[in-house]
Every structure is written in C-alpha cells, then in structure tokens.
Structure 1
Amino acid sequence: MTLTLTAEKIERNRFTGLKVENSTFHHCDFSGADLTSTEFIGCQFYERESQKGCNFSRAILKDAIFKDCDLSMADFRNASALGIEIRGCRAQGSDFRGTSFMNMITTRTWFCSAYITNTNLSYANFSKAVLEKCELWENRWVGTQTLGATFSGSDLSGGEFSSFDWRAANVTHCDLTNSELGDLDVRSIDLQGVKLDSYQVSLIMERLGVAIIG
C-alpha cells in the first residue's frame, strides 16, 4: 500500500502487522498505536519545511521494521520497542528517552533486543536508554545524547562517534572495531571488555604520547 497522510491521528490497529511501502506521513500522530510486526519500507515521516517528525510516543513497536525511512525528529518517548529494526534510515534528532527495548523476565533479569544499523542517529536522544547486547553497527552518532545510557555488550562497530561524549554512557564489553572514535580518552572511560582493532589502539596510544614500534 502507498499512502500520503497529513496531520492524521492514527487509529490503534490501523497498521498492525501490515507492510507499508513508499508512503508519506507528515505531522502524523501514531501515539499509542499498535505497530507490532508492522513493516515500513521507504517511508517519509519527516516534513522538511516545518522540520517536524511524527509522534510514536507510547506506541507498541514490538518487532516493527523501519527500512530506508526518514525518521528525523520522530518522538519515540516511552514506546515499547522490543525487537525493533531500524535499518538504513535517517533518524537525526529523534527522541528515544523512555523507550523500552527490554523484556523483563523478573525484576532482576531481563534481555534487550534491537537492530539499529546503518542509520544516522546524529543529535538523537538516547538518555538513560538500555540497549544491552544489541546490534547497533555502522551508525552515525554525531552529537548523540547518551547521558546515563547503557550499551554494554552491544555491537557498535563501524560507527562514527565525532562530537560524542564517551563519559556519558556505559560501553563496557562493546565491539568498537572499525569505528571512528572521535575524542575517546582511555583515562576517563571504563573500557572493560571492549573490542578495538590495532589501528584504533595505535591512535589512542599516540594521543597518550606513546610510540608504538613495528
């Protein structure tokens, strides 16, 4: 189906489980909608003239797929997003505060599931987000807000981390290989279990004034 919708309030079950391709949603309100297993492919959720995105707050995004979409300035606050896939998208300035990517088994045990890959997350807000052991590779993280976020054990390889505050988030046990690490200072960050490649290590050592021979 191909649609063009403007300033519509989306009914709760209108798109549940459907595949929506090459459609345009300007100023649309998906808040509280059930988008479980819904696929959006090549869709536009951002209106350039007003520089506003769509509202997905409190939506159910379990196993939802966004592929090659423009999600810039989208509001995902307090959405349920276990198993969400965001691939090859633009999501600059999107707000993921309070978004849940986890399945609580008991109060002390949980697992997270999200696939956010090859996506522009510049200036997005992931403050206090929990994205442990998730696939988060080849993304742009330029100026992304991650205060109090936990990425422990996730695959962050191939990322671009310029203007990124490494002290803000937990990146222990992450795969950072093949990433541009920007201003990463090993003296102020917990890098326990982190994977780096030899080129990255040589750059970090150079910054500390250590010469690596051979």
Structure 2
Amino acid sequence: MALFDYRSEKFTHDRFTGAAVENCTFLDCDFSGSDLTETRFIDCQFYDHESQIGCNFSHATLKDASFRTCDLTMNNLRNINALGIEIRECRAQGADFRGASFMNRISSRSWFCSAYIIKNNLSYTNFSKVILEKCELWENRWNGANVLGATFCGSDLSGGEFSSFDWQTANFTQCDLTNSALGELDVRSTNLEGAKLDADQVSELMGRLGIIVVN
C-alpha cells in the first residue's frame, strides 16, 4: 500500500492490520483503538505542518508494529499497547506516550518489556511514568523530553543526546549511557547504580565536582 493521502479520516479497527504502508500521508487522522499489530509504516507522514497537528493513535494496539523514517511529530500515542514496537529514524518531537505499555505482564510480580526506539528525534516528547526496562533506546535525541516517574532500568541509552533534560525525575540504574552527551547530569543527585559510562564521561562528570581523573 503506497502513495495515498488521507485527511481527517477515522479508520476502522482493522483497516491497516498487518499491512505494509509506504510513502503515505496521514493528516489529522484518527487511528484510535485500531489493531495495528505487525503493521509496517515506512516513509509515512503523520504530521500536518500547516496546522501543526499530529494523528491520534490513543488506545491502539501496536504490538510488533514498525515505524521507519516517519514523521510522528505531535502525535497522540497515549495508552497504546506497544510491546515489541520499532520506531527507527523517525521525527517524533512533542509526541505523547503517556500511559503507553511496552510490557508483557506474566504475573502481578513478573513482566518484561520490549521496544526498539532507535535513532529518533524525541525532543520534547512525553514519556511520563512510562516503563521501558531493558529496551533498545540508543542514539536518540532526548532534548527537553519529559520523563517524570519513568523507568529505563537496564536499557541501552548509548549515543544519546540529553540537553535540557532532568535526570533526577526517572530511573536510569543499570543503563548503558556510553557515548552519550549527558547534558547537566549531576552524579550527586542521580542514582546511576550499575550504569555504564565511558572514560571521557567519567572524567567530565568528576571534573564538575572538582575531581581530576588521571588516565
């Protein structure tokens, strides 16, 4: 399915289930509640630059779905079921992921998460209270993102960019932060237990405390 333009459409539950959708434009469209399991979106536009309005995916099922080189700017992704989702090389500035679930719950005390959110512009996105444990989240721009109450424990956040970012508001224990621009990270107020840092990062962070690291 390719080269279609949709504007202000409300899609039926199974309109795109499992489909491969390429080079399509969706302007102010409503995917809310849709089953997009294993659907692949490639080079698609979900943002209207004139009206500055994104699309609505709230409560959609996006298990094992894929977005590659798409524009998800300002999209509503609240309360999606997104276990195994892939978002790769996309623009997603200002997208809202509050309530999104990347989790497979086995029991009340046992679960695992799965997501591949890689090489995206996530500036000013809202991941408040989202759980993304042990996920592939590398080489993203997180500038100004809201991560209040979020959990990234054990995830790969390497190669990221974190300016205007509040490290104190989320859980980054056990994370791989190597090769990342860490912005204003203060090791005195952020729990980095088990986190991976490279030598240059350690030297920079210690330098802010007046400690000189000698190689």
TM-score range, shorter chain: over 0.9
Tell me by how many angstroms 1:212 deviates. 1.9
Residue of structure 2 in register with 1:191 after alignment: 192
> Percent sequence identity over matched residues?
67
Any stretches of 5+ residues in structure 1 without a counterpart?
A: none
Residue of structure 1 in register with 2:176 after alignment: 175
Secondary structure of 1:182 counterpart: coil
Tell me by how many angstroms 1:213 deviates. 2.4
- Measured against aligned partners, the alpha-carbon deviations of 1:133-179 in whole angstroms (never above 9, x if no partner) come to 00000000000000000000000000000000000100000000000
1:133 and 2:134 equivalent?
Answer: yes
Tell me by how many angstroms 1:211 deviates. 1.4
Residue of structure 2 in register with 1:203 after alignment: 204
Tell me by how many angstroms 1:206 deviates. 0.7
Secondary structure of 2:116 counterpart: strand
In the aligned structure 1, how far is the partner of 2:52 from the partner of 2:152?
A: 29
In the aligned structure 1, how far is the partner of 2:188 from the partner of 2:88?
A: 33
Tell me by how many angstroms 1:81 deviates. 0.4
- Measured against aligned partners, the alpha-carbon deviations of 1:61-115 in whole angstroms (never above 9, x if no partner) come to 0000000000000101111000000000000000000000000100110000000
Equivalences for 1:12-23 in 2 at 5 Å? 12-23=13-24
Question: What is the TM-score of this pair, normalised by structure 2?
Answer: 0.99
Secondary structure of 1:104 counterpart: strand
Residue of structure 1 in register with 2:146 after alignment: 145
Secondary structure of 1:200 counterpart: helix
Question: What is the TM-score of this pair, normalised by structure 1?
Answer: 0.99
Residue of structure 1 in register with 2:35 after alignment: 34
Give the AA of the match of 2:172.
Answer: V
Aligned length: 214
Give the AA of the match of 1:62.
Answer: K
Moved beyond 2 Å, runs of 4+? none
Residue of structure 2 in register with 1:24 after alignment: 25
Give the AA of the match of 1:58.
Answer: H
Secondary structure of 1:105 counterpart: strand
Give the AA of the match of 2:175.
Answer: C
Residue of structure 2 in register with 1:108 after alignment: 109
Tell me by how many angstroms 1:197 deviates. 0.1
Any stretches of 5+ residues in structure 2 without a counterpart?
A: none
In the aligned structure 2, how far is the partner of 1:68 from the partner of 1:109?
A: 34
Tell me by how many angstroms 1:121 deviates. 0.4
Residue of structure 2 in register with 1:56 after alignment: 57
In the aligned structure 2, how far is the partner of 1:26 from the partner of 1:213?
A: 55
Residue of structure 2 in register with 1:68 after alignment: 69
Secondary structure of 2:6 counterpart: strand
